[in-house]
Amino acid sequence: MENRIQRIKEALQEAQYKLTPQREVTVKVLLENEREHLSAEDVFLKVKDKYPEIGLATVYRTLELLSELKILDKINFGDGVSRYDLRKEGAKHFHHHLVCMECGAVEEIEEDLLEDVEKIVEKEYNFKVLDHRLTFHGICGNCQSKKD
Amino acid sequence: MENRIQRIKEALQEAQYKLTPQREVTVKVLLENEREHLSAEDVFLKVKDKYPEIGLATVYRTLELLSELKILDKINFGDGVSRYDLRKEGAKHFHHHLVCMECGAVEEIEEDLLEDVEKIVEKEYNFKVLDHRLTFHGICGNCQSKKD
DNA sequence: CTGCTTGCAAAAGTTTTGCATGTAC
DNA sequence: GTACATGCAAAACTTTTGCAAGCAG
């Protein structure tokens, strides 16, 4: 965890961005809540606990910056807000999501699963795939058993 | 085309919704621009050409209604707006998209391609898949050749 | 007729921007 | 010291809602 903070800091510096305490706290919050899919507002509130002077605009600016550096991925599950998800270290591609239409739970899938599909797309559609977004909508195990 | 309008009308009636001229014009616009991925504002402007008295709120309400009936799918490519895409007739699942990061063009893929992946998800993650969203981000054929 | 629909305007909510001030390098 | 960052407030957008009036069935 300390390692990952360190590496993100280095990425910021390499890209000529300053290491401000606000950015540091924001990164920390993102790492501590890696399994959640926080909205900008969510991040803002959690950062505010550790650093009360922060402004919402700064959080937005930091999230945008981290997305630009491909440390974060911005994702949208269809409710009105953008959510942010840390990219797994070393992952070439964004991971996938399972959204339960019953309870709203979001699970992550780290397996790639799309290698074959991407090959087909590159060949048949002459499209160079650089990244993807895949979300399944359905019923999670929990809600399935509740129905029985 | 006339057929599809007819069938959409029937779907509305079956669900006890009224056939207002505003709804009719909106459906027509959607059919005429099937290859585009129109935002609510886009639809509003095109409907306004044929039916100037229409209000933006009515368009939003109609789009929501058609989504509910699974005639439309709401999709989000990461710019700030929701876009709407007609579901292909008879398609169980939403089709996929190729978004070019260079020129912004959006191409559609109607092949399913995900059957195997969905089987894995159902088995390994105990998740009943009902629908999916798959978008590839990359470089389209056109932009690839421009670079040479 | 009756209840669903509409148009308008206002409201709600998210995200962006301008600007004076602050601060990492 | 200088250029980049920040906080605040205002602005810009998209989407939703309340309500009186309209109209499809």
- Taking the CA atoms of chain A, what radius of gyration do you get in angstroms? 17
DSSP string, B93-146: SPPEEEEETTT--EEEE-S---HHHHHHHHHHS--EEEEEEEEEEEE-HHHHHH
Q: Which residues of B touch A140 (CB under 8 A)?
A: 126-127
Query: In chain A, positions 68-97, which contact chain B (CB-CB < 8 Å)?
Result: 74, 76, 78
Protein-covered nucleotides of chain D (CB closer than 7 Å) are 4-10, 13-18, 23-25
CA of A57 to C1' of C18 (A): 12
Tens of pLDDT, residues A68-127 = 999 999 999 988 999 999 998 877 789 999 999 888 899 999 999 999 999 999 999 999
Q: Report how far apart the first and last C-alpha atoms of chain A are (Å, whole number).
A: 41
Check residue B102 and give its pLDDT.
Answer: 87
Contact B109 A121 (CB under 8 A): yes
pTM of the model: 0.91
Q: What is the pLDDT of residues A41-74, one digit of tens each?
A: 999 999 999 999 999 999 999 999 999 999 999 9
The answer to whether B122 and B114 have CB atoms below 8 angstroms apart is no
pLDDT score of A147: 72
Please state, rounded to an integer, the average pLDDT across all residues of chain A: 94
| Helix orientation angle between B21-32 and B2-14, rounded to the nearest 10 degrees | 140
Query: What pLDDT sits at residue A96?
Result: 96
B1 burial via Cβ count (<10 Å: 0-12, 13-18, 19+):
exposed
